[in-house]
Amino acid sequence: MAKDKKVQKLDSIVPDEVTTCETTQQMLSKAKMDGVETAFDRAAAMKPCPIGEKSACCKNCFMGPCRLNAKDPYGKVGVCGATIDTIQSRNFGRMVATGTASHTDHGMEMLKLFRGVVDGTIKDYGIVDNEKLLDIAQELGVPIQERSHNAIAVDVCDELEKTYTQLEGELPFVKRAPAKTQEMWRENGIVPRGAMREIMEMMNRTHMGMDQDYANIIKQISRTALADGWGGSMVATEIGDMLFGTPKPTQGEVNMGVLKEDQVNIIIHGHEPNLFESMLISVSDPALIEAAQAAGASGINLVGMCCSGLEMLSRRGIPHAGNFMSTEAVLVTGAVDAFTVDVQCIKQGLVNVADCYNTPLFTTNDRAHIEGAHHVEFHEDHPRECTDVIVEMAIKRFKEREAPIEIPARKDTGVFGFSHEYINYMLGGTFRGSYTPLNQNIINGKIRGVAGVVGCTNPRVPQDEVHIELVKELIKNDVLVVQTGCAQIALAKAGLSLPEAAHLAGPGLSEVCEAVGMPPVLGLGACVDNTRILTAACNMVKAGGLGDSISDLPVAGAAPEYMSEKAIAIGQYFVASGVYTVFGVTFPITEQTKFHDLLFNGLEEQGMGKWGFTKDPREMARMMIAHIEKKREQLGLDVGKERVLVDMADRRAAEAH
């Protein structure tokens, strides 16, 4: 039961209207009884500002703020004379810059950890995937013959650092993209230099009195977004794999039923795997397990949420309690003994909900304190000084549990951890992994194409509903779905992350899934791991028969329930890489403007992908499938023509390029 001081009368929301997640519904009903408010209540009470929703206002200087009319976009201009296209493109650019900064800052922290490991100042972590280290060294042109792994790692670290700090030149992983995609970027003048440089220039170009031509601003928007997808995020994923292991398919449990009433429950929510990895070691420490038992618990139950939860689910099969819109609801169980967060997507409202159920909420990162939370700072050079303390505090809270516990019974299972390397191996076999079988199945039409369905959940749409309906429609039409971020948990709760879900797919896709033993929906990791989808797309081009650039592929992307600026950056890097990308919920740009037309049509004419928008999952599926079919037609795949797949000589030539 909630503390009296927090109890209030709540009757604004109907739980089964705001979420399709049964366990979240159950907890929202309980929260209502307990008088505890969540983001679902606040979303119902807070109507979005119609001008801000469409980015039709500017507060970039103090002659304003200036509000234009989203319904009559060319009816007026700002005090400085800025038009709707200037204002919207600047606002969009700042969203992309912020999203890119989030991923890039995360990536720089991973690089700092990697640097500490290779120079020996950090001893609690090490390189576990040397095969990946060597692959990356080779890709980056770092010599490997007769050198120690550590010497190679030092050079790899130096090369990867350029991703962030380089002032001139091209990002190291740009050369991972197909040659034709690289050419298109060069022709458009959007090859990123270093991510810090691009973010800085984006912010400068959007200052009052700087770049005031939307057609020029979009170039820096794309360059900044590409610095995320092929830079900040891609490096974060690769370092994560080198340090913690490249994921391989692992069965795991999801949903709130993974909490255990008789155990000390510790939840980790955020994005950086180093905290979670250290916590895993702390909860396995016999002394701490003994302390938990002495407090009356049968053990310590470590559970993830959101993206760091997904990293641990993918790499270690650690249970996962739910996605972004379940983070407050899980606290309502009363069963959480420590709620531990690091960075990104952490609602400030969690502090109040945690307080209502006497759950200590721990912030651990100096970049993300929350007023009212307990701060126990995490340092990679002595990580257990943080995680051991949190375990001890969790044990104390278990011992002093007051509120009645109500844990929803439901838990679901799924298979997760399909890295792009594993897809290679899964389809091509151990001897010579290859994307050729995937391409062959696309060429012969059993699989029509591939869709990335990624991103958050958002209280502006019923939680999980758009994800589930969209994905069901896609797989029914023989479109293989790959996922990252919170979207995966929505589908896992709906049972679509198991090989048994193959029967929900169309005849071609289900035949392939049954032959390989894979689900029709492949979870690839956290939101930062969207770069695995980019790399998989590169491998599809390289395997041959599906065109020469990413924009030739019969693929499409969607973020149907997105909520963050990171998602806008991801969307833009997919578009700039050549992928048709459809967003749901709302699109933050006014229709009928030249800038909107550029995003939704003009970029495609420049050789990139394009944006799409709809809230309706069936319409979203229809739009994505129509795009995939258009690409198939352009590739001549529906005229029964035999496509030429690359042989070994072609492959070597492509790799040498």
Q: Considering the rule CB under 6 A, would residue 550 count as an interface residue with ligand MSK?
A: no
Beta-ladder partners of 453 = 558
Residue 64 interface partner, choices ligand SF4, ligand MSK, none, CB cut-off 5-8 Å depending on type: ligand SF4
Indicate the pairing of strand 611-613 with strand 580-583. parallel
Binding to ligand MSK in span 214-273, by CB under 6 A: 271
Residue 403 interface partner, choices ligand SF4, ligand MSK, none, CB cut-off 5-8 Å depending on type: none
Residue 456 interface partner, choices ligand MSK, ligand SF4, none, CB cut-off 5-8 Å depending on type: ligand MSK
Closest CA to 106 of 563, 531, 535: 531
Binding mask 455-494 for ligand SF4 (x = CB under 6 A): ----------------------------------------
Cis geometry, peptide bond prior to residue 588 (ω within 30 degrees of 0):
no
Binding to ligand MSK in span 367-426, by CB under 6 A: none
Name the minimum Å distance from CB 77 to ligand SF4.
7
Name the minimum Å distance from CB 535 to ligand SF4.
39
Binding mask 426-455 for ligand MSK (x = CB under 6 A): -----------------------------x
Binding to ligand MSK in span 324-343, by CB under 6 A: 324
Name the minimum Å distance from CB 89 to ligand SF4.
12
Task: Report CA torsion sign: 566, 567, 569, 570.
Answer: positive
Closest to ligand SF4 by CB, 216 vs 601, is: 216
Rounded to whole angstroms, the Cα distance separating 365 from 522 reads 31
Residue 30 interface partner, choices ligand MSK, ligand SF4, none, CB cut-off 5-8 Å depending on type: none
Q: Considering the rule CB under 6 A, would residue 52 count as an interface residue with ligand SF4?
A: no
Closest to ligand SF4 by CB, 45 vs 63, is: 63
Name the minimum Å distance from CB 59 to ligand SF4.
6
Rounded to whole angstroms, the Cα distance separating 594 from 1 reads 54
Rounded to whole angstroms, the Cα distance separating 172 from 234 reads 10
Tell me the backbone φ, ψ of residue 453, rounded to 5 degrees. -120, 110
Q: Considering the rule CB under 6 A, would residue 524 count as an interface residue with ligand MSK?
A: no
Closest to ligand SF4 by CB, 90 vs 411, is: 90
Q: Which of 361, 526, 540, 608 binds ligand MSK (CB under 6 A)?
A: 526
Binding mask 478-507 for ligand MSK (x = CB under 6 A): -------xx---------------------
Rounded to whole angstroms, the Cα distance separating 426 from 435 reads 9
Closest CA to 537 of 551, 527, 524: 551
Question: For ligand SF4, how many residues bind (rule: CB under 6 A)?
Answer: 14
Rounded to whole angstroms, the Cα distance separating 339 from 305 reads 10
Q: Which of 106, 347, 401, 566 binds ligand MSK (CB under 6 A)?
A: 566
> How many angstroms from the chain centroid is the CA of residue 267?
19
Binding to ligand SF4 in span 178-237, by CB under 6 A: 208
Closest to ligand SF4 by CB, 339 vs 595, is: 595
Question: For ligand MSK, how many residues bind (rule: CB under 6 A)?
Answer: 13
Q: What is the CA radius of gyration of the chain?
A: 24
3-state secondary structure of 173: helix
Name the minimum Å distance from CB 500 to ligand MSK.
25
Q: Considering the rule CB under 6 A, would residue 51 count as an interface residue with ligand SF4?
A: no
Beta-ladder partners of 555 = 450
Q: Which of 456, 502, 524, 603 binds ligand MSK (CB under 6 A)?
A: 456
Assign residue 6 a region (left: φ > 0; alpha: ψ between -120 and 50; beta: otherwise).
alpha
Q: Considering the rule CB under 6 A, would residue 78 count as an interface residue with ligand SF4?
A: yes
Can you tell me which residue has the tokens 């890039």?
Answer: 104
Do 252 and 320 meet the contact criterion of CB atoms below 8 Å apart?
yes
Task: Report CA torsion sign: 38, 44, 49, 52.
Answer: positive
Beta-ladder partners of 339 = 267, 361
Closest to ligand SF4 by CB, 60 vs 363, is: 60
Residue 345 interface partner, choices ligand MSK, ligand SF4, none, CB cut-off 5-8 Å depending on type: ligand MSK
Q: Considering the rule CB under 6 A, would residue 76 count as an interface residue with ligand SF4?
A: no
- Helix 149-165 × helix 84-119 angle, to 10°: 160
3-state secondary structure of 74: coil
Name the minimum Å distance from CB 232 to ligand MSK.
14
Binding to ligand MSK in span 266-305, by CB under 6 A: 271
Residue 527 interface partner, choices ligand SF4, ligand MSK, none, CB cut-off 5-8 Å depending on type: ligand MSK
Name the minimum Å distance from CB 125 to ligand MSK.
22
228 secondary structure, DSSP code? I
> How many angstroms from the chain centroid is the CA of residue 43?
23
Residue 142 interface partner, choices ligand MSK, ligand SF4, none, CB cut-off 5-8 Å depending on type: none
Residue 445 interface partner, choices ligand SF4, ligand MSK, none, CB cut-off 5-8 Å depending on type: none
Do 132 and 244 meet the contact criterion of CB atoms below 8 Å apart?
no
Contacts of 579 (CB under 8 A, 6+ apart): 452, 537, 550, 551, 555, 556, 557, 609
Beta-ladder partners of 449 = 479
Closest to ligand MSK by CB, 456 vs 553, is: 456
Residue 82 interface partner, choices ligand MSK, ligand SF4, none, CB cut-off 5-8 Å depending on type: ligand SF4
Closest CA to 44 of 28, 33, 64, 58: 28
3-state secondary structure of 181: helix
320 secondary structure, DSSP code? B
Max CA pair span of the chain: 73
Name the minimum Å distance from CB 60 to ligand SF4.
4
Q: Which of 66, 502, 513, 527 binds ligand SF4 (CB under 6 A)?
A: 66
Which of 74-82, 138-146, 272-280, 454-462 is the region at the interface with ligand SF4 (rule: CB under 6 A)?
Answer: 74-82
Contacts of 67 (CB under 8 A, 6+ apart): 51, 56, 57
Question: For residue 253, what are the CA distances in angstroms to 299, 334, 412, 495, 498?
Answer: 18, 20, 6, 11, 11
- Return residues touching ligand MSK (CB under 6 A): 271, 306-307, 324, 345, 455-456, 485-486, 526-527, 564, 566
- Return residues touching ligand SF4 (CB under 6 A): 58-61, 63-66, 78-80, 82, 87, 208
